[in-house]
Amino acid sequence: MTVDRDNASLPPKAGVMGWPVEHSLSPHIHRYWLGRYGIAGDYLLIPVPPEDFVETARGLARDGFVGANVTVPHKLAAFEAADEVSAVARRIGAVNTLYYRDGRLIGTNTDGTGFLENLRQGAPGWDPGAGPAVVLGAGGAARAVAVALLEAGVPELRLLNRTRARAEALADALGGPITVADWAARSETLAGAALLVNTTSLGMVGQGPLELALEALPRRALVNDIVYRPLETDLLARARARGNPVVDGLGMLLHQARPGFELWFGRAPEVTEELRQLVLEAAA
């Protein structure tokens, strides 16, 4: 067996590299799973300024780590630090998880699968092929969501962003059945949709409201907000009130953490109600 890190006799540890990183909820998630499965290991905050990121990431094994999550502002720099980057991370254009395989540092991205797993757990009957998906926003989160939805086989993806050029750039980069519409026409764009996802920061505590009339949205359409502060955003509350199935955004955060935990600690963890409550309390 290849020894992937120094100090391999010590309990495995992983962590999250960011700057700043104090507010990350990832330690709450991974430490909960370590405790639940009785695994001797740890998950730490790794504050790293941009100028030190590549060197620190390359030295993870030397410092006794089995891998790490990567968060703002390092998700692009991680391409440089990794020996190899997965196809999905390249397509999303960001690395959020680093792990070792045969002594090589591999970068991948679990946001898209986290998004899909959250929908699958929260709305078990949801079928990506059922109809068009409307995605609001064109930032990093939208990119992961769009990649996942295209991969899952949505027949049409309607992409809308306040800055339309960003949506067009994303559509060009990804290819596939994406149509870009005007932010001003967002309410009309909901006609005939089977899924609506808000990936903008609108509706989050401290941000402006998401102004979006839902009349044109079919009542069977699934509505998901990746904002989870508050857990039930105004969008989700209004969608629920008119009878749409809804899935909140906390699950994406929890599900994106699962592949990393399994890669580092060798056990596929579950997203439980207890974990949701614990992370909600930590986020409050």
Residue nearest to ligand ATR (CB): 139
| DSSP helix/strand/coil, 225 | strand
Binding residues vs ligand ATR (CB under 6 A)? 137-142, 161-163, 166, 199-202, 208
Supply the minimum distance, in Å, between the C-beta of residue 258 and ligand ATR: 20
**Catalytic residue, candidates 5, 30, 75, 158:** 75
Beta-strand ranges (E) seen in the chain are 13-18, 42-47, 67-70, 84-85, 97-101, 104-108, 133-136, 157-161, 178-182, 195-198, 222-225, 246-247
User: Of the two residues 7 and 201, which places its CB atom closer to ligand ATR in the complex?
Assistant: 201
CB atoms within 10 A of CB 283: 16
Q: Are 176 and 157 in contact (CB under 8 A)?
A: yes
Supply the minimum distance, in Å, between the C-beta of residue 207 and ligand ATR: 7
Is-catalytic flag, 75?
yes
Radius of gyration of the chain (CA): 19
Cα–Cα dist 192/146, whole Å = 18
Supply the minimum distance, in Å, between the C-beta of residue 279 and ligand ATR: 18
Cα–Cα dist 122/126, whole Å = 9
Cα–Cα dist 90/79, whole Å = 9
User: Of the two residues 13 and 143, which places its CB atom closer to ligand ATR in the complex?
Assistant: 143
- Dihedral sign computed on CA atoms, order 268, 273, 277, 280: positive
Cα–Cα dist 133/160, whole Å = 11
User: Of the two residues 207 and 272, which places its CB atom closer to ligand ATR in the complex?
Assistant: 207
User: Of the two residues 60 and 148, which places its CB atom closer to ligand ATR in the complex?
Assistant: 148
User: Of the two residues 131 and 140, which places its CB atom closer to ligand ATR in the complex?
Assistant: 140
Cα–Cα dist 181/159, whole Å = 6
268 contact partners, CB below 8 Å, separation of at least 6: 258, 261, 262
User: Of the two residues 105 and 197, which places its CB atom closer to ligand ATR in the complex?
Assistant: 197
Supply the minimum distance, in Å, between the C-beta of residue 197 and ligand ATR: 12
Supply the minimum distance, in Å, between the C-beta of residue 199 and ligand ATR: 6
Looking at residue 4, the DSSP 8-state letter turns out to be -
Supply the minimum distance, in Å, between the C-beta of residue 208 and ligand ATR: 5
Active site residues: 75
